[in-house]
Amino acid sequence: MTAVVRTAKAWREARPAQGYLGFVPTMGALHDGHRSLIERSGQENDATVVSIYVNPTQFDDPADHARYPRTWDADLVLLETLGVDFVFAPEYSVIYPDDGRFTVQERGLSDRLCGPHREGHFVGVLTVVTRLLNLIRPTRAYFGEKDYQQYLLVRGLVDAMLMDVEVVPCLTVRAADGLAVSSRNRSLSEPGRAIAGRLFEALTTLASVTQVRSVLEEEGFDLQYVEELDGRRFAAVVLDGVRLIDNVPLPHSREADPPLH
């Protein structure tokens, strides 16, 4: 049975004293992408803890935070089904006993791609990840490649702060039409969902960034960026008021801009 832990003290008492511990940080509204991370953690560790915490400091729009889907009952059923050992579901005061006075900021990679479009987002992400990793103290932490920029930042954070944890990237899970699975997808209208998969199609089939931009605009996507960096093609778009991101590796024969890290 999955044990629900809500405070730092309770986690310190519940944390397994021995064996490998896998950690999957989430904001809930769990989907097949989360499932893949959890299943991999279960294969590689003696125990797995999943956090569910909708972190307010990574939202640049308070309204976006307020409408983020919260599906606790369904999430807990899924975690029980997957055999997760622990769910860490803290309140704000547990994660931010200082009320957010201390933050973690990176200079460089966080200023690119999503950075200019989401003020303060990566400060919030890196701050909450630092706090969670310091508290959970996992052997391995699992992150999806859909948020590839976030994965690179977390990996750099762990290296820079000398944290004793392995950051494990996991392949993006996709719907049948190629759309990267995301909690935000459920906010798309039926017509929006019908064309959303064309983002992946454009990223993987068109020869140039210019072509990708042109086709996506014609399809009705509002573009934030389409860029090629570090051997990958990245995009962020808005459809039906929903922000979608994706990235794909470029063929080895192609040249890209300087590395992200």
* Residue 20 pLDDT > 80: yes
Q: Would strands 47-52 and 86-88 be described as parallel, antiparallel, or unpaired?
A: parallel
In this structure, the answer to whether residues 22 and 49 fall within a common structural domain is: yes
Residue 175 domain flag = no
Q: Tell me the residue range of the domain where 196 lies.
A: 183-249
pLDDT single digits (tens) 204-256: 999 999 999 999 999 999 999 999 998 999 999 999 999 999 999 998 645 44
Q: Known catalytic residue: 261?
A: no
In this structure, the answer to whether residues 123 and 203 fall within a common structural domain is: no
Q: Which of 31, 34, 65, 121 is catalytic?
A: 34
In this structure, the answer to whether residues 17 and 40 fall within a common structural domain is: yes
Burial class (CB within 10 angstroms; exposed 0-12, middle 13-18, buried 19+) of 172? buried
Looking at residue 223, the DSSP 8-state letter turns out to be E
In this structure, the answer to whether residues 159 and 196 fall within a common structural domain is: no
In this structure, the answer to whether residues 89 and 130 fall within a common structural domain is: yes
In this structure, the answer to whether residues 107 and 198 fall within a common structural domain is: no
Closest CA to 121 of 163, 153, 79, 157: 153
In this structure, the answer to whether residues 99 and 208 fall within a common structural domain is: no
Residue 261 domain flag = no
Q: In whole angstroms, what is the distance from residue 146 CA to residue 205 CA?
A: 18
Closest CA to 137 of 2, 3, 19: 19
Quote the pTM value: 0.95
Confidence of residue 257 (pLDDT cuts 50, 70, 90): low
What is the model's pLDDT at position 77?
A: 98
